[in-house]
Amino acid sequence: MEDLMRKILDGIEAKYAEVRYIKVLGEEVVVKNGVVEGVSSSEEGGLAVRIINEGVGFAATNRMDKVEDAVRVAEKLSRKGNGNVPFSQEKTYEDSWSVEEKKKIENMALEEKIKYLLDIDRALKAPMKIQALHDKIVEKIYMNSEGTLIRARIPRVEYFYMMGVMVDGNFEQSYRQYGITGGYEIFDMYDLKGILLEEEEALTKVAKAKKSPEGVFDLVIGPEVAGIIAHESCGHPSEADRILGREAAQAGESFIEPDMVGERIGSEIVNVIDDPTIEHSFGYYRYDEEGIPARRRYLYKEGRINEFLHNRESAGKMGVHSNAAARSSSWNREPIARMSTTFFEPGDYSFEELVDDVKMGIYMKSFTEWNIDDIRYNQKYVGREAYLIENGEIKEPVKRPVLEITTPGFYSRVDAIGKDLEFYAGTCGKGDPMQGVDVWMGGPHIRLRNVKMR
């Protein structure tokens, strides 16, 4: 494959060209209410070409006998434009990297996967239970006309559940993803049966709970809530292509403007990070899809807007270097600026210390729904498992507390951050055609003061 890719690059006359090959082997098992609903395996792969001349041309194919056609399409498209295609100048690299599973995907028999899911199903009393287990091995080769060559092998395993309980006519449900870059050591990293048993108990409490009170309260949020807030109100608005307007017709724009780096967004104790280099993280990578070495990015630092997520195109437009945020979901998708693992940096407080100083408040441990506007400014989060806090003690459960707040309003009300740290997996959607990529999101417990709840 590398010989073919070199031949392609040698035959292209362009300001810049790159060739990317991706192959994915995957298997999925779905169990619903004690019945194996589906088993599927997949193998897909293809080759993509991107060329820059007066404009940018991109084409892809999964047929090796159509490679020349794809190159011609990309070359033709690259001749359309005004000749001004900013593209950041970067160093070149040659490297091979892989993630080795402690429990290899290919050694996990289908029967073992089914047995694992059915064992969890039998332990639960909930009337509605859906579980899915998906694994994949991704092999990549990236090569560009500047001399970069990156080879990668990336295994990932993902577990998803949805569960619902009914108590006295009240139905409550929850869903979550757990995923890692690695193999079936995921079963050792997470006690999935224990997690679902705890969730079943929590849903039963919520179904019996009274409606959450309205008013102004101190609020403590759990890591799951912190994660979705970091992802939605920091990660997405920090994507440079969104800031520049490229995503306007698909996913929206950003309240952040290109010249807002350094402006205050919230409390000086707030740091929100996006980091693709955390081992085992679901969005882990060492080089992005443009061959740039991955690194930690502080998107909000000490309460100020600090850095955007860049690929080489947006970096060129803003006169900076890429920070390795280029990702694509498949062989036939163009790399765009994406998140990896987005989270609040932990602080110094124990959970007990966060709660102890609250006279009247709400503890929103997890969420059941959320939404946010298309510039990532006004947002709403609805609690799933939640409790009253009175005089420093966790009291009775409450149903569906609602936090409606602006992005600066949220970050400005943070007054204490826990020292714990948890991550949750997700599939982040963006682009047109849509690209879903694997991510983690998370954080510690966080306390906010004087928040309006309803």
Q: At how many degrees (to 10) do helices 110-123 and 192-208 cross?
A: 30
| pLDDT tens string 162-195 | 999 999 999 999 999 999 999 999 999 999 999 9
Dihedral angle over CA of 279, 284, 289, 291, nearest 10: -10
Whether the model clears a pTM of 0.85, i.e. scores above it, the answer is: yes
**Residues 274, 155, 340, CA angle at the centre, nearest 5°?**
10
Helix and strand totals (H; E) in the chain = 10, 25
> What pLDDT is recorded for position 234?
99
Count CB neighbours of 93 within 10 A.
15
> What pLDDT is recorded for position 251?
73
Residue with tokens 């079936």, as numbered in its chain: 184
Q: Which parts of 306-363 fold into alpha helices (H)?
A: 312-318, 351-356
CA gap 311, 321 in Å, rounded: 9
CA gap 150, 20 in Å, rounded: 10
> What pLDDT is recorded for position 320?
98
CA gap 384, 165 in Å, rounded: 13
User: pLDDT averaged over the chain?
Assistant: 98
Short-list 447, 452, 240, 203, CA closest to 344: 447
| pLDDT tens string 390-430 | 999 999 999 999 999 999 999 999 999 999 999 999 999 99
**CB 14 within 8 Å of CB 146:** no
User: What do you get for the CA distance between the two ends of the chain, in Å?
Assistant: 58
| pLDDT tens string 236-289 | 999 999 999 987 777 789 999 999 999 999 999 999 999 999 999 999 999 999
Count CB neighbours of 441 within 10 A.
28
Q: Which CATH superfamily is domain 2-208 in?
A: PmbA/TldD superfamily (3.30.2290.10)
**Residues 25, 435, 323, CA angle at the centre, nearest 5°?**
100
Task: For 53-127, list the strands marked E by DSSP.
Answer: 56-61, 94-98
3-state secondary structure (DSSP) of residue 194:
helix
Pairing, β 304-305 against β 297-301: antiparallel
| Sign of the torsion angle spanned by Cα atoms 359, 364, 369, 374 | positive
On the question of a cis peptide bond just before residue 408, with omega within 30 degrees of 0, the verdict is no
Any idea where the domains of the chain sit in the sequence? 2-208, 211-453
| pLDDT tens string 359-399 | 999 999 999 999 999 999 999 999 999 999 999 999 999 99
Count CB neighbours of 310 within 10 A.
28
